[in-house]
Structure 1
Amino acid sequence: MAVADECVKHALLTLAGAYVLDYLPSTQLLERTNQHYRKAVALITDALANQETHEVSKSDGVVSAILLLVVDDELACKTVIWELRKPKGGVPNWYRGARLAKSILDHSDPGYRYWKATNMQSSTARLANANWTALSCILAQPVTPLKREEDDNSFSWLLEGTERGVRKIHGSTGLCPKLLHTFAQITHLSTRIMECPDSVAFPMGAAKLEKRLKNFHQWSEFSDGYRYSEDLSASCDLDANGKVNCPAKVTELTGETWVAAIQIYLHCRLFRRPRSHPLVQERLGLLLRCVERMPYDGPLFTSQAPFFPIFLAVIVSIREEDYNVVNRWFEQIVSGAGCRSSVPPVWPVVKSLWKWLDVSIVNETYDEEVPIGQRRAWWEEMVEYLIEKEGWLSLT
C-alpha cells in the first residue's frame, strides 16, 4: 500500500504541518515540518535512483509522495502562495513535479501486458495517482502556449479499464478519466492545427471529438447519472436558496459543469469560435446554471468544486448576468477560503483578464466556411497575455 511507504508518511506530515502553520504559527512546528519536507525529498530522490521504483506497479508510493509535495511545494522556503510566484515566465515546481509523476506512471504502466486496455486492472492507489497527475498536467495546458511533446504518450493509461470504468467520476477530481483524457486530445489537436494550418485530417479529428462530446455520459458511486442535461436539471430538488443538498446531486452537477467546460474549450481553442458564438454561449449557460445550484460552502463544498470550469466561464462571459454569477462564486469562495486555497490568488487575475478581454477580444468576425487553420486563434493571444502578465496559473 502506498500509505505504508516512508516517503508518503513524511510528505503527508509535511502537508499537514503546512496547514496547521497557516492557522497556528509556531517556530517549533515550522522546523519539524521542514524536517519532514527534507526527509520526504531525500526519500523520493533515493527511490527515483532505485530501478525497482520504475518497474511495473512498483511506483505507487513515490508518485503519491510527489503529488503530496506538488500540493504544497517549497515549504522549506515558507512560501504560502507559490502558484503565481516570480519569475512569472518560468515553469513552476508544481508543474515540474506533476510531469515527473507522469513520467514515472508512463514507464511503470502495466498496460503493456494486455492485448486490450479494457482488460487492464489497476490498484486503487494507481488510479488515484493517475487521475490527480493527469489533472495537474492536463489542466495546465489550456492556459499555457501550445507545444507538442514528441515523447508524450498522451496519458493513455487514463483509458485503461472498461468503457464503463473510464466514465466513472473520480472522487478526487470531479470528472471521469475519459473526459480528462479528451481535454488532452483537444489541446493536442489544437497544437497540430497550429503547426499544419492547411491540414485536412486534423479538422476531421476535431469533428469526431465534437460528436463524441455531445450528450457525454458520466456516472458516479452515487448514481448512474443522466444522458441528457435536461433530465439532470429536472431531477434536482432545490432548497429555499435554490441549492441542492445531497452528495449525489452535487457530484452530478459538478460532472455536468466539466462536460460544458470541455465543450467550451473545444469550440474556442480547437475550432477557434468566438466567445459570442451561439454554441459557446449555450454551453456557458448550462455551466452557470449547474454552478448556481451547487453550494458554495459547507460540507458539500469539497475539492470537487468546479474551479477550472468556472475559469473557462470567466473567459467566455460577455453578458452582465454571467459576470454576476462568476463574481458571486469567487467572492464567496475567497471570503471563506483558507490560506492555501488555489482560488484567492486567481481572483485578481480574473478581474484583470476581464478588462483585457473586453478591450482585446471584441468585434470578432467569424465564418464557419473558413478553414480552422485560417481563423483567428484568439485563445492563443489570451494565453500569451496570461503568461506575460500573470505567469502560470494553478486551476486545480
Structure 2
Amino acid sequence: MHMGDAVDDQIEQMDGSCLDEEQNQRAVKRVKVEDPRSGVREGRAVAAFSPPEFSSSSPTSPHRPPPSHLSKRARYPLPPPPPQPSQPPGEFGVVDQQTLFNSTLVSPFKDCVGSFGNACHRRYFRPLNGKINGYIKVNFASDTPSRRESLAAGSSVSQSPQATELSVRAVEDDSPTSSLVPFRQPSVSSTVTLALSPELDPNVDFSAYLSGPAVSCGFEMLDAAPTSPTVRTDNSCEVTLMGAPRKVPQLFGLEAYMDQTDRKLFTFYIRNWCPGRSVLADTNLWLKDFAQMHKSEGVLAAIQSLAGIYIYDYKPIDSVRKRVNERFFEAELRLSRLLNDPSTMRNEALANELITIAVLLSMQDIVLTERRLQKPYDPRWLAGFKQSELFLQATDQGSRFWNPTNAQLSSLRVSQSVIVGRAMILAQPMMKLPPAETFDPEYETSRFGWLLYGTERDMYQIHGGCGFSKKLLHIFSQITYCAARLQQDPMSVVVPTTSQYLHAELLQMRQWSSESKKGEAAKVGLSVTEWARSVPVDYVVSSSADMTDVTAEAWRLAAIIYLQCRVWRLPRNHPAVLASLSDLARCIQIMPTSGYHFTAQAPLFPVFLLGLLSIDPELRNVSKTWFDEVVSTPVRSSVPPLYEALQRMWQWIDVFVPPPLPTETPLEPIGLRCPWWEQVVHEVDRREDEVLCLT
C-alpha cells in the first residue's frame, strides 16, 4: 500500500469510540552501593557531577499517597497536579547529599501528572511535501524532496530500509486557521494485502521494522476485515494469492493487554518514532530493548504516553490528551513504587524496569520543552537519569574489559548504561565544576565504570543509543574529571600526564559498527577524518555505514576539542584547536539534516561546540546552517531551545571571553593558564533560565 493514506482518519478513531470500550483491569506487576559522602555541593547546576542523591520530597511537589484505583487503567480526568512550591527547595547553589538509607526516593515526574495538553492547540502543521523525515518518520504525501535530504535508492520515505511509516490520508482540517493544503489520495493496488502490525507478529521481534522492507502501518489496518482470498485461474500462474490471514487474535504475540487506542500508540512508537532514533538497527535500544519490555505495565504506559505526545502535536484532540495523561500517570505511579521498594536495589529485573521507565519519562521531559523546569529547580530529565545512575551502580556486577569475569550482561543492561551515561556525562561540559573543597577524586575516578563492561573490542563499537562508542563516552567523563581535579590542585602532575594519555587514546581511536568496518578492519586504511577531507565539497552522506562512521568521528573530534579547551585551557584561536574545529566542521558539512539517514543519532553536542567555539565565521556558519535546517522540520525535539541558547551566547562570548593575541604563548604548567571555559560556563549559568540539554 502507498504510504499516503492519513493520520487524521486513523487518529480520529481515537476520539471517543475507542475510549468507550470496556477496559480490562490490568494488575500492576510487581546495590552494594557506596554511600555518597555528606557535604555541600555548589549549585543545582552541578547535579551531574555529584553522586546520586535523594530528597525527602520532590523539587516541585510534596509526596502524595498512591490512589486506591491502582490496578485499573485510569478512565476519568486525572486530578490536577499539586501546586508549585512558592519557594525553591533550599538555597539555590547548594545541594545537600543525603545517604541512601535516610531518605525517601521521590519521582521527579510526580508534579507532571495530568498536566499534558492544557494548552489545546496544534503545535505543528504538516510540511507541504507531506513528509516528516527527521526525528520521526511519517509520510503524509511524497512530492518534493528536501534540499539536503539524504540520498539513497529512491527518495521516498516509504522505500527506506530503516523506516516503516504510518500511512496517512489527508482530510479536511478541523482548524479554521489551518494552512494545510489538501493532499491527493493515492490509488491502492488490488494486490495489496493486510500489512503486518506488531500484534500479528508471534515473535514480537521489533527490530525487523528497521531491517526489513517498509510496510504500511496505517492505524485503520489494525482492525481491517480480512479480504477474500484471490485465486487466479490462469494456468501460467504458479503462485496462488491467498489474501490476508484470517481470524488472528487481536493480542496474538503480545504479552500485555492493549485496547484499540493503546495499540495505535504502541504502533506509532514502533514504526514511526523508533526509526528516527538511530540508523543502527542492532543497537537501536528504543526498539531492540525497551519495546521488548512491553509486558511491564509501567514501561508500556511510558511508551504509549511518549507516542501520544507526538501525535497530539499534529492532531490535538481531547481523547489523545486524556490517554497521554492516563498512561503517564500509570508509568509515574509504577516508577514511584519501584523507587520505594527496598528489593529494587537487590533485584536486577526490578532495577531494569525502574531504569527503563525513568529513561522514557526523562525523554518526555527532554522533548516537552514547554514543560521543563527552570532554575533554581533541577531539570526533571536530569533527576530521572541521576536516579537511573544510582540503580545502575547498585546492580553493577563489576565486570570490566581489562578484568573479565563470568558476568553476562544483557543487551538491555548495556543499552541502559549507554543512554544513562550519555545524559549524565554530556550534561557536564556546560555545568560548573564541583568546588575544590568538596570534590571527591576517589568517587569520581570510579564513576561510570559500568560503561566499561565487555571485551576491549566491544569498547570501540559504535552504539545506536549515543552514536559513538562506550569507550569514547567514558573518556568524556574522564576529561571532565581532569578539569575538576586541576581546579582542585592547579600544580598537579597527575592531570597533565593523564590528559596526555587521553589525548593519545583519542588520536589513534578507530570506532567500528555492524554497518561498516568491524574490529581490526576499522584500523586499516584512511581515517574517517582523512576520508571526509577527500570527498567533493558538495558531497552528502548517502549510506547508513558512512553516516554512522562520520557521526562517531564528529564525537571523537569533539572530545579532542573539549580536552584541549577545558583541561589544557588552550584558547579558541590556538592552532591545535583551530585544526580540530576545521575537521569537525568538515564532518558536519557532509551530513544530511533530513532523510532516513538522519536520526537522533546526529551529533548535537559537536555541532553546538563548533558553533560556540569557532572564531572563523565560515566555521560558525556550518553550525548555524545545520541548526537552521534541522529546526525547519516540524517535529518536536530538544534542538530548538539549544539553538536559541547558542544564538544568545553568540551575542556575548567574544566580549566576555575574548581570545588572546596569537603571539601569546600558553603558560606552563597548565594549571597556571586562564580557565576560560569555566568563565563561559559561569556566564551560561548566570544568563540562561534552565540547564542546557545537550542530548
Whether 1:314 and 2:611 are equivalent positions in the alignment is: yes
Within a 5 Å distance, the mapping from 1:116-195 to structure 2 comes to 116-117=403-404, 120-147=407-434, 148=439, 151-152=443-444, 153-195=446-488
Distance 1:3 1:372, change over 3 A: farther
Structure-1 residue corresponding to 2:686 = 388
Q: Residue deviations 1:239-272, cap 9 Å, x none?
A: 9951020000000000100010000000000111
Distance 1:235 1:202, change over 3 A: closer
Q: Residue deviations 1:76-128, cap 9 Å, x none?
A: xxx54345x422x4321110111000001000112269992476431111111
Check whether the contact 2:392–2:417 (CA below 8 A) recurs between aligned residues: yes
Distance apart, 1:73 and its partner CA: 2.4
**In 2, Cα distance between the equivalents of 1:241 and 1:304?**
22
Distance apart, 1:224 and its partner CA: 2.4
Distance apart, 1:388 and its partner CA: 1.3
Structure-2 residue corresponding to 1:106 = 393
AA matched with 1:92: P
Distance 1:121 1:218, change over 3 A: farther
Q: Residue deviations 1:312-364, cap 9 Å, x none?
A: 112221111112111110110111141x2111111121111112111122242
Distance 1:55 1:302, change over 3 A: same
Structure-2 residue corresponding to 1:335 = 632
**In 1, Cα distance between the equivalents of 2:400 and 2:601?**
33
Please state whether the residue corresponding to 1:72 is helix, strand or coil. Answer: helix
**In 1, Cα distance between the equivalents of 2:388 and 2:482?**
24
**59, 62, 73: which one pairs with 2:354?**
62
AA matched with 2:412: A
Whether 1:352 and 2:641 are equivalent positions in the alignment is: no
Whether 1:72 and 2:364 are equivalent positions in the alignment is: yes
Check whether the contact 1:98–1:136 (CA below 8 A) recurs between aligned residues: yes
Please state whether the residue corresponding to 2:555 is helix, strand or coil. Answer: helix
**356, 359, 362: which one pairs with 2:658?**
362
Q: Residue deviations 1:12-54, cap 9 Å, x none?
A: 1111111111111122221221111111111111112223322
**589, 595, 601: which one pairs with 1:304?**
601
Please state whether the residue corresponding to 1:273 is helix, strand or coil. Answer: coil
**In 1, Cα distance between the equivalents of 2:612 and 2:476?**
17
Check whether the contact 2:366–2:381 (CA below 8 A) recurs between aligned residues: no
Q: Residue deviations 1:292-318, cap 9 Å, x none?
A: 111110101011101011111122211
Check whether the contact 2:345–2:394 (CA below 8 A) recurs between aligned residues: yes
**298, 301, 306: which one pairs with 1:15?**
306
**In 2, Cα distance between the equivalents of 1:329 and 1:120?**
43
Check whether the contact 2:401–2:456 (CA below 8 A) recurs between aligned residues: no
Structure whose CA Rg is larger: 2
**In 1, Cα distance between the equivalents of 2:628 and 2:514?**
31
Please state whether the residue corresponding to 1:28 is helix, strand or coil. Answer: helix
Within a 5 Å distance, the mapping from 1:178-217 to structure 2 comes to 178-217=471-510
Distance 1:198 1:64, change over 3 A: same
Whether 1:90 and 2:377 are equivalent positions in the alignment is: yes
Distance 1:114 1:52, change over 3 A: farther
Check whether the contact 2:366–2:693 (CA below 8 A) recurs between aligned residues: no
Q: Residue deviations 1:264-289, cap 9 Å, x none?
A: 00000011110111111111111111
**In 2, Cα distance between the equivalents of 1:37 and 1:105?**
23
**In 1, Cα distance between the equivalents of 2:539 and 2:400?**
50
**In 2, Cα distance between the equivalents of 1:130 and 1:73?**
19
Check whether the contact 2:666–2:673 (CA below 8 A) recurs between aligned residues: no
Question: Which range moves more in the overlay, 91-100 or 260-269?
Answer: 91-100
AA matched with 1:347: Y
**In 1, Cα distance between the equivalents of 2:597 and 2:370?**
25
Structure-1 residue corresponding to 2:320 = 29
Question: Which range moves more in the overlay, 185-194 or 237-246?
Answer: 237-246
**276, 290, 293: which one pairs with 1:2?**
293
What RMSD, in angstroms, separates the aligned Cα atoms of the two structures? 2.4
Structure-1 residue corresponding to 2:63 = none
Structure-1 residue corresponding to 2:80 = none
Structure-1 residue corresponding to 2:528 = 232
Whether 1:221 and 2:517 are equivalent positions in the alignment is: no
**In 2, Cα distance between the equivalents of 1:118 and 1:360?**
51
**In 2, Cα distance between the equivalents of 1:184 and 1:385?**
22
Distance apart, 1:368 and its partner CA: 3.7
Distance 1:234 1:370, change over 3 A: closer
**In 2, Cα distance between the equivalents of 1:201 and 1:261?**
23
Structure-2 residue corresponding to 1:371 = 669
**In 2, Cα distance between the equivalents of 1:183 and 1:114?**
18
Whether 1:81 and 2:377 are equivalent positions in the alignment is: no
- Between Structure 1 and Structure 2, which shows a larger proportion of helix residues? 1
**In 2, Cα distance between the equivalents of 1:389 and 1:240?**
38
**291, 294, 302: which one pairs with 2:591?**
294
AA matched with 2:640: P
AA matched with 2:340: A
AA matched with 1:55: R
Distance 1:229 1:140, change over 3 A: farther
Q: Percentage identity across aligned positions? A: 34
Please state whether the residue corresponding to 2:365 is helix, strand or coil. Answer: coil
Check whether the contact 1:268–1:275 (CA below 8 A) recurs between aligned residues: yes
Give the structure-2-normalised TM-score.
0.53
AA matched with 1:137: M
Check whether the contact 1:114–1:120 (CA below 8 A) recurs between aligned residues: no
**In 1, Cα distance between the equivalents of 2:366 and 2:451?**
29
Check whether the contact 1:120–1:161 (CA below 8 A) recurs between aligned residues: no
Alignment coverage as a number of residue pairs: 390
**In 1, Cα distance between the equivalents of 2:400 and 2:630?**
45
Structure-1 residue corresponding to 2:196 = none
AA matched with 2:512: W
